[in-house]
Every structure is written in structure tokens, then in C-alpha cells.
Amino acid sequence: MPMISLYDATRADVEAELVGAPRYRIDQVWNGLYSQFLEPHDITTLPAAVRAQLTESFTPALEPKLRTVADDGKTIKFLWRLVDGGHPIETVLMYYDDRATVCVSTQAGCAMACGFCATGQAGFNRHLTAGEIIEQVVRACREARTLERRVDNIVFMGMGEPLANEPAVWGAVERIHGDIGISARHLTISTVGIVPGIRTLATRPLPVNLAVSLHAARDELRDELVPINKRYPIADLLGACHDYLKVKNRRISFEWALIEGVNDTLRDAKELHALSRRLTPTAHVNLIPLNPTPGWPTKGSSRNRVHVFRDTLLEFGTNVTIRSNRGTDIAAACGQLAAGQPVRVSAPSARESSTS
Ligand code: SAH
């Protein structure tokens, strides 16, 4: 029988292992794993024999490979090797003054093939299990605890397409909400726009936030930037967003990575505004200058163009914010996660913008 990973194990799995154990014993295990973020051998409320038994039966799914720190200690990137299969995946922990956010991967690699995204450039290996997603959160919580910080928000915006792996992602959502205790309202699932996935998500009970990686508001351009748009064009995507809002009544956000001269013009601002106001409540737009990746020739919009684009949207009356850009120098920023590869930033935006 294949081994169940520590955070894929259900309470029933633990009960089956600790035959005849009283209920409070299972509670101690659960509390150790999900509230104190400990591995079984460190759960000192348990007798040594139980700790040994659990250690033997349920093993962690992630083997730490590398931990890199940036932004004066405020951004930490973890590189893991999946114990099952050996694929590399990444997780990013970001501290802010008033909160901490963890960005988790949902697949090893990605099959969506967005050309500007480092994970998309590298291709797909396999889906992650719920436990492999949960364990990323637990390990980031363990790290935050060393600074007496707690994790407030989880964004499913790391490697992979969450809605191409919806059942495992939902399994992780339930455990993060119910056992770790981070409310569903503080969880955000980001999608490239998998229409059936959005529809499935709408049937799920908890009110998680939905972010749609739009990047273009006309099919002709979006087909180029986000190839899955050919299968799920903007009209269908918007229809699914509309239906999601009807049942969830949470604001949807549109993610927009600004690419100089490609999607940062007045025309794009107009089209984006028109699209965001077709939803009720209107979509919130998150802007971010495109981060450089090795396999994509165009560059992110300059600071000035980002601000002009934002101000134009504001004048139209669109809800918009510019996302802070964490971890660029350690390739931990949006779209830069390409674990296991020596990610070289081939066209540093700072150098280019200082010469142009
Ligand atoms: N597959 C999901 C989640 C992972 S990507 C999705 O597409 O939403 C998380 C976000 O980073 C998405 O909005 C994605 O479009 C964006 N992104 C990818 N590459 C990027 C890059 N090079 N610069 C800035 N954002 C990027």
C-alpha cells in the first residue's frame, strides 16, 4: 500500500493507525500538526511510542532544498523537492506590517503555457495532492512562528493552475480553513480562466476569493498571451465569473501584468474598464509590471506607464491597485517560479529602464 503523506492523512487515517487510541489522543495529534505546526516526533504531548509510530507511518511530502531571503527578510522563498517523484516546487512567504501572506503551488509545473510565465515555459510535471499543498502552508506557518508571526492570507498563485487541479485544491482549502483556522475569506484562488473549474468552484460551500488572470480584454490579444483563451474565450469566462458572483457575492479580481506597448495602452485601459464594470459588484483590478523571465522577449511596463495606466482606470471609475512586487531579485515574484532551473533574469528591468 502506498504511504499516505503526513498532511494527506485524515483523522480517520490517524485513528486507524493508532488502534484503540482515545479521542483526546487524536486531538493531540491534530493540534500538534495543525495548530503548532510540528512534526510528529516534536509533539511532546504524545507518548514517545506514539510519536515513533506516527513518524514511521506518515512521512512529510516535501523535502527542503533551499530557502532564500529577500526584501530585508520580508520575503522568503522555499524550494522543495517532492518526496514522491522528485519534482521541484516553490512556496513564497511574504511579511507585511500588518499581515503575512503565503503563496502556494498547486501543480509541479503548469500545462497552460502562458509564454510570459516561467512555470508555463517549463511545462507540466504532475498535480499536487491536497496534502502537498497543505504542507506548504504548514511549513510557512512554522517559519513565521520563529518570528512570533502568524500567517493571515493564502494565495493559490504559485506554480500551476489551481482550477486544473480543483479537487486537490478544494481539499486543501477545507483543511486550511477548518483545521489551520485561516478563514476562507482570506484564501484567494487565482485562475488563468478555466471555465468549468470556476463553475465547480461556485458549487463549493466556502466563500473563497477568486482572482482571474486576465491580462487582455480582447480575444485577439488574450489568445496570444494566455493560450487557453482559445478554448475559453472572454465572453465565456465573463459568463462564468458572473455566475460565480451570483452565488458567492464576493468581489472578483482581475490580474493584469503590464507589458510595455502590448497591454498598457489607452485602448487596453478602456477595454479593461468596460469588462470590469460588466460584473456586479464590479471587478477589482490588480496591476503588476510584468516580471522578467528567461524565455520571453518583451519587458514589463515602466513605473511611469504603470502609474498612467492606473490613473486612467481610476478616472474611468475602475477599482484598481498596483500590487507590490516582492522577491524579484530571488526569482520569487509572480511568474518567476521555475523551480529547479537556474532562473537567470536575462533582461533586468532596472537596467533597461535606466537606459531608456
Ligand atoms: N495559474 C494561475 C496561478 C499561478 S500564476 C493563474 O494563471 O492565475 C499567478 C499570477 O502571476 C497570474 O496572474 C499570472 O498571470 C501572473 N504571472 C505569470 N507570469 C508573470 C510574470 N512574468 N510577471 C508578472 N506576473 C506574472
Assigned domain for 301 exists: yes
pTM over 0.85: yes
pLDDT given at position 345: 38
Active site residues: 90, 334
Domain tally for the chain? Answer: 2
Domain of residue 41: give its range: 11-57
Q: Are residues 39 and 140 in the same domain?
A: no
Strands 153-156 and 187-191, bridge-based pairing: parallel
Neighbours of 329 (CB within 10 A): 14
**Gap from CA of 54 to ligand 1 centroid (Å):** 38
Where residue 184 falls among pLDDT bands split at 50, 70, 90? very high
Decide: helix, strand or coil at residue 224.
helix
pLDDT digits (tens, 9 = 90+) for 314-332: 999 999 999 988 888 888 8
Of 28-32, 96-100, 350-354, minimum mean pLDDT range: 350-354
Pick the closest to residue 290 from 348, 342, 243, 343 (CA basis): 348
- What's the rounded mean pLDDT across residues 150-174? 98
On whether residue 351 sits in a domain, the answer given is no
Q: What is the pLDDT of residue 294?
A: 86
Quote the CA–CA distance of 275 and 221 in Å, as a whole number.
15
Domain check: are 23 and 145 in the same one?
A: no
Q: What percent of the chain has a predicted confidence (pLDDT) above 90?
A: 87
C-beta 157 within 6 A of ligand 1: yes
- Look at residue 344 and tell me if it is in a domain: no
Same domain? For 289 and 242 the reply is yes
Say yes or no: CB of residue 288 within 6 Å of ligand 1: yes
Please compute the mean of the pLDDT values over residues 328-346 and round it to a whole number: 68
Give domain status of residue 3, yes or no: no
348 within a domain of the structure (yes/no) = no
**Same domain? 90 vs 164:** yes
**Does one domain contain both 123 and 25?**
no
